[in-house]
Amino acid sequence: MVDRKDLGSWLSGPDTSHISKYPGERLGLPESGPGSIARAGRRILAICIDWLLCLLISQFLFDGAALATIGIFFVEQVLLVGTLGYSVGHRIMNIHVVRLAPRAGAASGASGPGGPGTLPAGPLAAVVRTLLLCLVIPAVVFDPDQRGLHDRAMNTVLLRR
């Protein structure tokens, strides 16, 4: 015979104990303030600023050729994110790109810019991340921590400064 105890597990709804309360919680990042995940609004404005800047340069130097614009965007992202950790748009929106440290490093308290267990993005991460960003689709598919596929591929994250 089936009693109420057997049915209670599915009647009470799904187990939500593994769901994060805020983006970045699973990564050990703060909910808000410096070192927290940069929200979508900041990221979208940053990429719009970068794109407009590249469009202006392309218009001035190459008569606005679309391929030139994306080429300039690629070079800007790789050079600036690879060396400084942020592009012009990121800097204006007060965010930066960091690479998350491996779990062992994060557990031992390794720290860098942006919070516990983070490291500078570096040139290789900037190249791969930008290449995927230029494909657009990886940037619009994201996880619960608001990291796009381009960030997940290189274990990077955009944090507030």
Structure confidence at residue 137 (pLDDT): 82
User: What confidence score (pLDDT) does residue 48 get?
Assistant: 96
pTM of the model: 0.78
Distance CA 12, CA 9 (A): 6
Rounded distance between C-alpha atoms, residue 75 and residue 80, angstroms:
8
Query: What sections of 63-159 are H helices per DSSP?
Result: 66-83, 88-92, 103-107, 123-134, 137-140, 149-153
Sequence-distant (≥ 6) Cβ neighbours of residue 132 within 8 angstroms: 138, 139, 149, 150, 153
Q: Which two tokens stand for residue 120?
A: 């500078």
CA angle, residues 32, 153, 123, in degrees to nearest 5: 90
Q: Where are the domains of the chain?
A: 31-160
Give the pLDDT confidence score for residue 140 in this predicted structure.
83
Q: What is the mean pLDDT of each run of 10 residues along the chain (161 residues)?
A: 59 66 86 91 94 96 93 96 95 94 51 56 93 87 87 91 90
Tokens of 137: 């689709």
